[in-house]
Amino acid sequence: MIALQQATAAPNPLAVPVDAPEHCPGTDSALAGKADACSGCANQEICASGETKGPDPALPLVRARMASVKRKILVLSGKGGVGKSTFAAQLGWAFAADEQVQTGIMDVDICGPSIPTILGIASEQVHSSSSGWSPVYVQDNLGVMSVGFMLPSAKDAVMWRGPKKNGLISQFLKDVDWGELDYLIIDTPPGTSDEHLSVVQYLKESGIDGAVVITTPQEVALQDVRREIDFCRKVGIRVLGLVENMSGFPSTGGGRRLAQDMNVEFLGAVPLDPRIGKSADYGVSFLDEYPDSPASTAYLDIIEKIKGILGDS
């Protein structure tokens, strides 16, 4: 197992390691190497010298690692509780249903990593080799990386400021031995925060194929999605489309109207089905467990639309 505090056994001296002090001000701060929190940090001297300024040395390493990944898809939501991670998991399972398609899921929801539980691999651990960190495999063609694998227990909270989150995301992108992937699905936290900006920064040269935005019909969720779509446009991420999750409760149709208003593709509506949550709790594929349900039909139709938009159908 790779312990969370040991996740940077051989860090690049210019990077922000995940084992930096809890209140690390970050390498771009005027207090880099000078704040009280910097005392005792292995990077204190180089941060204080100002040599951390300039291009991030992780970028070429990320570019080299991502060269073997064909498609990179972000799954976004404006707020929590809309089923974003559950959708990301179903998307991964659907892609991997074809044994010839190699799929990876990277969970960058650092403070609330739920992907390991949803995929039924919460008790697994990450191992390292000469080629990097090895993903945890749900099946031969579906690998997963999450900070959840590195926590001593599911009860442990991750209380990190931006620089430490950025450091871990950098490592997930440059140090994980994904191998040849057809799809890398990146499950992000709700909203638009450090994690989103870090992913965009590190993948700007490798390219992000697009984002799928998840919402529920309630107006409070739709308001947040408007900001999410605006974020994508400001940072140059293509919005593949909008999914209305939990459709029919307490209202329906809001996602379609919002997609029209924002001029984005409406990928479809997944009807509310309590068995989806039950499947996530037990770590099994809803698509496999309930293939004849209306929700499974909706999921598969949405996924086929995504493939079509990407030119993969």
What per-residue confidence (pLDDT) applies to 135? Answer: 94
Nearest in space to 114 (alpha carbons), one of 82, 139, 142: 82
> Dihedrals φ, ψ of 46, to 5°?
-70, -35
Provide the mean pLDDT of the chain.
Answer: 83
**Interior angle at CA 187, CA 247 and CA 5, nearest 5:** 140
Q: Domain check: are 183 and 43 in the same one? A: no
Residue 6, in any domain of the structure:
no
What per-residue confidence (pLDDT) applies to 13? Answer: 33
Say if residues 26 and 52 touch (Cβ distance below 8 Å). no
SS3 state at 183: strand
Q: Domain check: are 37 and 74 in the same one? A: no
| Average pLDDT rounded to a whole number, residues 168-181 | 91
Residues 31-68 have pLDDT tens digits of 677 777 777 675 666 666 655 455 677 888 999 999 99
Q: Domain check: are 16 and 67 in the same one? A: no
Residue 70, in any domain of the structure:
yes
What per-residue confidence (pLDDT) applies to 11? Answer: 36
Residue 293, in any domain of the structure:
yes
The domain that contains 244 carries what CATH number?
Answer: 3.40.50.300
Q: Domain check: are 21 and 91 in the same one? A: no
Nearest in space to 217 (alpha carbons), one of 189, 250, 190: 250
Residue 3, in any domain of the structure:
no
pLDDT beyond 90 at 238:
yes
In the chain, the amino acid numbered 176 is: V
pLDDT beyond 70 at 233:
yes
pLDDT beyond 80 at 82:
yes
What per-residue confidence (pLDDT) applies to 56? Answer: 72
What per-residue confidence (pLDDT) applies to 111? Answer: 77
Residues 271-280 have pLDDT tens digits of 999 999 999 9
Q: Domain check: are 65 and 168 in the same one? A: yes
Residue 76, in any domain of the structure:
yes
Q: Domain check: are 16 and 162 in the same one? A: no
What per-residue confidence (pLDDT) applies to 154? Answer: 63
What per-residue confidence (pLDDT) applies to 284? Answer: 95
Question: Which residues, listed in sequence order, are joined to residue 146 by a DSSP beta bridge?
Answer: 107
Residue 296, in any domain of the structure:
yes
Residue 1, in any domain of the structure:
no
Residues 135-167 have pLDDT tens digits of 999 999 999 999 888 776 666 666 666 677 788
Residues 90-148 have pLDDT tens digits of 999 999 999 999 999 999 887 778 999 999 999 888 888 888 899 999 999 999 999 88
Q: Domain check: are 70 and 42 in the same one? A: no
Residues 9-34 have pLDDT tens digits of 333 333 455 555 556 766 656 667 77
Q: 32 is in which domain, residue-wise?
A: 12-54
Residue 5, in any domain of the structure:
no
SS3 state at 159: coil
Nearest in space to 223 (alpha carbons), one of 74, 76, 77: 77
Q: Domain check: are 99 and 214 in the same one? A: yes
What per-residue confidence (pLDDT) applies to 193? Answer: 75
What per-residue confidence (pLDDT) applies to 14? Answer: 37
| Average pLDDT rounded to a whole number, residues 290-309 | 95
Q: Which residue has the higher pLDDT, 207 or 44?
A: 207
Q: Domain check: are 26 and 155 in the same one? A: no
In the chain, the amino acid numbered 285 is: S
Share of the chain above pLDDT 70, in %: 80
Q: Domain check: are 141 and 254 in the same one? A: yes
Residue 251 confidence class, pLDDT cut points 50, 70, 90? low
Number of domains in the chain: 2
Q: Domain check: are 22 and 137 in the same one? A: no
Q: Domain check: are 92 and 149 in the same one? A: yes
CA–CA distance, 261 with 265 (Å, rounded to integer): 10
